[in-house]
Amino acid sequence: MAVLLALCASTLFGVADFLGGSSARRIHPTITAFASQVAGLVVLFAVALLGGGALIGGDLALGAAAGAIGAVALWLFYRGLALGAMSVVAPLSAITSAVVPILVGVVLGESPEVSQWVGIVIALPAVVLIAREGTSEPADVATEPVEERATPSSNRLGVAAGLLAGAGFGTFVVLVTRTSSESGLWPLVSSRAVASTLTVLAVLAAGLFTKVSPGRGLSLALAAGILDASSNVLLLEAGRRGLLVLVGVIGSLYPASTVVLARVVLGERLQRHQVIGLGLAVVAIVLVAV
């Protein structure tokens, strides 16, 4: 059940990522982040009220810490994409987001079966292959302004930001899944409240509140926030029911649903390495589930 929940969480997060990216193409990315965070907070608060659960200080603190780290990690991820090559930064962040829960799970004494370890080993390169963008686009490179091209120094900074972002995403998973089941969904509410506050401050600092208006971009951002919140709920339940090692690696496969949607909805062509990665992901899921 834990693996199935983690797989559903991964799928929903990938869809949310796709919708959020589509929104950011239409409106300012900071507004997208703000709208999605607030939408997720409203949904989580409503579900938490209906589901009950105790307001446990320690769990709320873990949630708040997860929210702050997750928000910073997202900023680092976008910063890394801006500084370095997306084909390098995205896979690095995806792989470190999987490795952190695996390492913590091992330290905590979790012992998956041999077949599950094989699945984990296969899943890691699958994540890299799926998340890696194509690099053969000389026409775009030729027309890119000189001042926007990545330099060796900016690439190094981009790589560092990507690694730190992935570690932050993985830490978010670790923190929220270490909360007790007695607290229900309130740790996620605490997490989203902190993240929402940070995005509100970012919108205020950038003077973007006057640019928040109804439209398709905003609608996509709200939908992304709702799906992201739903993904968090499933991931939380998965972590409470199963091994962190397995939940972390399955949850990191979210780029799969993003690239599939890009192929189906936008008609983007899948690169050969992405197809291979998707195949490896299927094998890994089967091994981990068994």
Q: Is residue 144 part of a domain?
A: no
- Take residue 160 and report the two structure tokens written for it: 């560092």
Q: What is the mean pLDDT of residues 40-49?
A: 94
| DSSP-based three-state secondary structure for 81 | helix
Q: What is the pLDDT of residue 151?
A: 62
Q: Over the stretch 275-289, which tens digit does the pLDDT of each residue have?
A: 998 899 889 888 887
In a domain, 147, yes or no: no
Least confident among 87-96, 125-134, 146-155: 146-155
Q: How confident is the model at residue 139 (pLDDT cuts 50, 70, 90)?
A: very low
Closest to 24 measured CA to CA, from 225, 170, 161, 169:
225
**Dist CA 67 CA 45 (whole Å):** 15
Crossing angle for the helix pair 152-177 and 57-83, to the nearest 10 degrees: 160
Higher pLDDT, 109 or 78: 109
Instruction: Examine the pLDDT at 147 and tell me if it is beyond 70.
Output: no
Residue 150: phi and psi, rounded to 5, are -75, 130
Q: What are the pLDDT digits (tens) for 121-136?
A: 998 888 888 877 665 4
Instruction: Name the pTM for this structure.
Output: 0.83
In a domain, 179, yes or no: yes
CB proximity list for 13: less than 8 A, separation 6 or greater: 227, 228, 231, 235, 251, 254, 257
Within-domain flag for 41: yes
Please report whether residue 143 resides in a domain: no
Predicted pLDDT of residue 187 = 96
Structural domain range at position 111: 2-136+152-289
Eight-state DSSP code of residue 17: H
Look at residue 161 in the predicted model and tell me its pLDDT. Answer: 85
Instruction: Work out the pLDDT band at 138, boundaries 50, 70, 90.
Output: very low
- In this structure, is residue 239 part of a structural domain? yes
Domain count, the chain: 1
